C-alpha cells in the first residue's frame, strides 16, 4: 500500500547529542558534499519549501537539524519519523579545524543515534565520485549502517547522460545492480515516489506504533 507525507515540521537543531529531540520515531539521515542538495531534497520530499534552509553558497547547514514528518497510508494508518539534515562534507573554504570539527561531530551523531534506520548519501550526478564520497560511504557501512545512494540534480543532464553517470557512480562505489542508485531532482521534481518507498521500506512502519 502507498504511503504519502501529510505534514512536516522543524523540531530542533543540535550541536551536541544532548540536544537531540526526544521521541521513539525511526530516523533517516541525509549526508553528502556541501551544496549537493540535501536540504533541497528534504524540502521537495516533504513538499514544503523553506522547511530546511537551502543556499547557492556551499556550507549552509552547520548543525544537525531534525524534522518530524507524518506519513499516511492509503487505508488511513498514520506513522511519523525524523528526517535529519546534516552539514555537508568537503567544503574547501572552511578552515581545516572547522572541517575536522564538523566531521567529528557528524561521526559522533552516527555513532550515538539509536533510532537511525537509513542513511541517504547524496552524490551530484554531474561529478565523478570523489575520494571523500567513497571514504564516507565505506565508513558508514563499516559502522553497520544501511546506506542508500541518491544521485541529485538529474535535471542538469540528458536522460542518456544520467544513465551513464549512474553506472559510473555504481562502479565507483563498488555496488551491485541489486542496490540501485536512485536518481533525484528537487527542481523537476523526479525520483520522489521511489525515494519515499525506500524510506518506508527502511523504517518498517509496520513494526512501529508511534501514533
Contacting positions for ligand GTP (CB under 6 A)? 32, 34-40, 54-56, 58-61, 87-88, 152-153, 155-156, 185-187
Provide, rounded to whole angstroms, the least separation between the CB of residue 20 and Mg ion.
18
Cis peptide preceding 189, ω within 30 of 0:
yes
Inter-residue contact 98 to 44 (CB < 8 Å): no
Residue nearer to Mg ion on the CB measure, 61 or 148? 61
- Binding footprint of Mg ion, residue count (CB under 5 A): 4
78: which DSSP letter? E
Residue nearer to ligand GTP on the CB measure, 157 or 202? 157
Provide, rounded to whole angstroms, the least separation between the CB of residue 58 and ligand GTP.
5
Q: Give every CB contact of residue 10 below 8 A, 6+ residues apart in sequence.
A: 51, 52, 65, 66, 67
Inter-residue contact 63 to 77 (CB < 8 Å): no
185: which DSSP letter? B
Residue nearer to ligand GTP on the CB measure, 79 or 137? 137
How far apart, in whole angstroms, are the C-alpha atoms of residue 132 and residue 195?
24
Q: How many residues does the chain have?
A: 211
Residue nearer to ligand GTP on the CB measure, 29 or 79? 29
Q: Give every CB contact of residue 71 below 8 A, 6+ residues apart in sequence.
A: 3, 4, 5, 6, 78, 79, 80, 81, 200, 205
Provide, rounded to whole angstroms, the least separation between the CB of residue 38 and Mg ion.
5
Answer yes or no whether residue 61 interacts with Mg ion by CB under 5 A: yes
Provide, rounded to whole angstroms, the least separation between the CB of residue 87 and ligand GTP.
6
How far apart, in whole angstroms, are the C-alpha atoms of residue 132 and residue 203?
27
Provide, rounded to whole angstroms, the least separation between the CB of residue 31 and ligand GTP.
9
List the single partner that 153 binds among Mg ion, ligand GTP, none, CB under 5 to 8 Å by kind: ligand GTP
Closest to 118 measured CA to CA, from 83, 67, 87, 70: 83
Candidates 41-49, 60-68, 110-118, 187-195: pick the segment binding Mg ion (CB under 5 A).
Answer: 60-68
Answer yes or no whether residue 43 interacts with Mg ion by CB under 5 A: no
Provide, rounded to whole angstroms, the least separation between the CB of residue 54 and ligand GTP.
3
Inter-residue contact 183 to 198 (CB < 8 Å): no
Residue nearer to ligand GTP on the CB measure, 159 or 177? 159
Answer yes or no whether residue 39 interacts with Mg ion by CB under 5 A: yes
Residues that bind Mg ion (CB under 5 A): 38-39, 60-61
Amino acid at each position: 500500500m502507498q504511503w504519502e507525507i501529510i505534514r512536516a515540521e522543524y523540531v530542533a537543531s543540535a550541536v551536541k547529542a544532548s540536544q537531540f529531540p526526544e521521541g521513539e520515531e525511526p530516523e533517516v539521515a541525509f549526508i553528502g558534499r556541501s551544496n549537493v542538495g540535501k536540504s533541497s531534497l528534504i524540502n521537495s520530499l516533504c513538499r514544503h519549501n523553506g522547511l530546511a534552509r537551502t543556499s547557492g553558497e556551499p556550507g549552509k547547514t552547520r548543525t544537525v537539524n531534525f524534522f518530524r514528518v507524518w506519513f499516511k497510508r492509503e487505508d488511513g494508518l498514520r506513522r511519523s519519523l525524523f528526517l535529519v539534515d546534516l552539514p555537508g562534507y568537503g567544503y574547501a573554504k572552511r578552515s581545516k579545524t572547522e572541517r575536522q570539527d564538523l566531521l567529528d561531530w557528524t561521526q559522533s551523531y552516527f555513532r550515538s543515534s539509536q533510532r537511525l534506520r537509513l542513511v541517504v548519501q547524496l552524490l551530484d550526478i554531474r561529478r565523478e565520485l570523489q575520494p571523500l564520497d567513497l571514504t564516507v560511504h565505506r565508513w558508514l557501512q563499516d559502522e553497520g549502517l544501511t546506506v542508500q545512494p541518491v544521485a541529485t540534480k538529474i535535471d542538469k543532464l540528458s536522460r542518456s547522460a544520467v544513465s551513464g553517470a549512474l553506472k559510473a557512480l555504481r562502479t565507483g562505489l563498488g555496488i551491485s545492480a541489486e542496490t540501485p542508485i536512485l536518481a533525484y531532482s528537487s527542481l523537476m521534481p523526479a525520483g520522489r515516489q521511489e525515494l519515499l518507498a525506500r524510506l518506508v521500506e527502511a523504517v518498517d512502519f509496520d513494526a512501529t506504533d508511534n501514533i
